[in-house]
Amino acid sequence: MKTTNYLFTSESVSEGHPDKVADQISDAILDNFLAFDENSKVACETLVTTGQVVLAGEVKSSAYVDVQEVARQVINKIGYTKSEYKFDGDACGVFSALHEQSDDINRGVERAEPLNQGAGDQGMMFGYATKETENYMPLPLELSHQLLIELAILRREAKEIGYLRPDAKSQVTVEYSEDGVPQRIHTIVVSTQHDEFVLAGNGKTQAEADEEMVAKIKEDVKNILIPRVLAKNPEWKKLLDDNYILHVNPTGKFVIGGPHGDTGLTGRKIIVDTYGGKGAHGGGAFSGKDPSKVDRSAAYAARHIAKNAVAAGVADEILVQVSYAIGVAQPLSVYVNTYGRANVEMRDEEIALRLEKLFDLRPKAIEQRLKLRNPIYSETASYGHMGREPQVVKKTFSSRYTDTIEKEVELFTWEKLDYVDKIREEFSL
């Protein structure tokens, strides 16, 4: 019988995208509070627009953080440093409306016995993993991220491509076989902000100048960007044939961008942050939230479970859902879906029970197991929270109100394959 292939698409956005600017500011503020007081409770939302940053939310902490200065540092680091962008770190206004966390929420979360700490909110969180890439992430999203990571490197090098500005988006469509195995890269879309490097005049119309710019950008994406990405990920070369479709800045020139071109908000790119639309998402955003908020910590825990389960051989693809009630420590439910791709002779319900036995999913236990009370979140706020490389780094935090501190922290602990042996033993693999 003839099989039917299908197409699946995911997108990513750069660190200079307005929504990601907002995410990075929120997480940098969170990191600074955690650096000086690891017990800080933070829920920080950010809005960015032309020449303006607005901070709002709730904080309970013994630390005092100059949030305006933190926001400016983030904006400059991203690359918004020129007045022609109509948004730059040194000149934009920063308005803070952060205030104390509600006692009603705090009362429901804190307990005399720390491990009985209740969840910071109700909701359901998902984790997902698949064997289709080396880091157990969906290929369309992983390729979308890598295109923009490399584009940012090219922008900062300013050698091969000197006209790039910080805002950019990518999108990749992959053709899959009926049984879910990637067959080929079908379409790549890249939209990048750029300088106005071809001007009208001397007989050249504005339309002709714009067309020349777009043609040059497409040529550079095809001949510089994509080959550099493939050189770093050689396993993808066999999936890209001469018949793939490439769209670059399909609406034309893209000079006006960033927060001047589009207002940005924290938490508006949750699918980019997770699995690109594969699996599922509970709806809760991550950035700006301390780990007592299970929107964040339980989503990381669910990814940790899913990745280790696939790596252990339980299934080739797996979705894990956990749910909570505010103020209640134990999850209300744990659900597993292997999409019919399990490698063990048992129902998904039994797989869920066995995994739940191995992983303590109380919020405080998740915090401790994944070391989430450390200032590790700025690095998560662009190019995805999942599929990243666990690593130990030293981070420095300075404040006009206290001594500068240096902390050694472990990033992306939920990506560690440290439960594979335990899972194999439990499932007799």
Residue 333 in domain: no
Q: Strand 333-337: give its sheet, edge to edge.
A: 123-130, 317-324, 333-337
pLDDT per residue as tens digits for the range 254-295? 999 999 999 999 999 999 999 999 999 999 999 999 999 999
Task: Report whether 101 belongs to an annotated binding site.
Answer: yes
Alpha helices, H only, 83-182: 103-109, 139-157
Residue 204 clears pLDDT 80, i.e. is over it: yes
Task: Report whether 168 belongs to an annotated binding site.
Answer: yes
Residue 235 in domain: yes
Task: Report whether 66 belongs to an annotated binding site.
Answer: no
Residue 155 in domain: yes
Task: Report whether 91 belongs to an annotated binding site.
Answer: no
pLDDT per residue as tens digits for the range 45-80? 999 999 999 999 999 999 999 999 999 999 999 999
Q: What stretch of H or E contains 187? A: strand 182-194
Q: What pLDDT does 60 receive?
A: 94
Task: Report whether 268 belongs to an annotated binding site.
Answer: yes
Task: Report whether 359 belongs to an annotated binding site.
Answer: no
Residue 135 in domain: no
Over residues 83-107, the mean pLDDT reads: 84
For residues 269 and 256, what is the distance between their CA atoms, to the nearest angstrom? 21
Task: Report whether 254 belongs to an annotated binding site.
Answer: yes
Task: Report whether 242 belongs to an annotated binding site.
Answer: no
β-strand partners of 100? 59
Task: Report whether 58 belongs to an annotated binding site.
Answer: yes
Task: Report whether 373 belongs to an annotated binding site.
Answer: no
pLDDT per residue as tens digits for the range 175-193? 999 988 999 999 999 999 9
Number of domains comprising the chain: 1
Over residues 152-164, the mean pLDDT reads: 94
pLDDT per residue as tens digits for the range 289-347? 999 999 999 999 999 999 999 999 999 999 999 999 998 999 999 999 999 999 999 99
291 neighbors 297 (Cβ within 8 angstroms): yes
Confidence class for position 165, pLDDT limits 50, 70, 90: very high
For residues 227 and 234, what is the distance between their CA atoms, to the nearest angstrom? 10
β-strand partners of 201? 204
For residues 20 and 285, what is the distance between their CA atoms, to the nearest angstrom? 12
CA angle 264, 267, 270 (to 5 degrees): 120
Identify the CATH number of the domain in which residue 167 sits.
Answer: 3.30.300.10
Task: Report whether 286 belongs to an annotated binding site.
Answer: no
Closest of 173, 142, 148, 137 to residue 9, by C-alpha = 173
Average pLDDT, the chain: 94
Instruction: Describe the crossing of helices 363-370 and 294-312 by its angle, rounded to 10 degrees.
Output: 60
Task: Report whether 312 belongs to an annotated binding site.
Answer: no
Closest of 224, 159, 170 to residue 193, by C-alpha = 170
Residue 216 in domain: yes
Closest of 137, 220, 228, 121 to residue 174, by C-alpha = 137
Task: Report whether 290 belongs to an annotated binding site.
Answer: no
Closest of 210, 297, 296 to residue 256, by C-alpha = 210
Residue 223 in domain: yes
Task: Report whether 45 belongs to an annotated binding site.
Answer: yes
β-strand partners of 182? 176
The single-letter DSSP state of residue 378 is G
Q: What pLDDT does 202 receive?
A: 84
Q: What pLDDT does 331 receive?
A: 94
330 CB neighbour count, 10 Å cutoff: 13
Residue 381 in domain: no
For residues 409 and 112, what is the distance between their CA atoms, to the nearest angstrom? 27
- Quote the distance between the C-alpha of residue 264 and its chain's center: 15
Task: Report whether 289 belongs to an annotated binding site.
Answer: yes
Residue 342 in domain: no
Phi, psi of 421 (to 5 degrees): -65, -40
Q: What pLDDT does 105 receive?
A: 56
Task: Report whether 232 belongs to an annotated binding site.
Answer: no
The single-letter DSSP state of residue 222 is I
Phi, psi of 120 (to 5 degrees): -75, -10
Closest of 383, 17, 12, 51 to residue 166, by C-alpha = 17
For residues 20 and 15, what is the distance between their CA atoms, to the nearest angstrom? 6
Q: Which domain holds residue 212?
A: 6-11+140-257
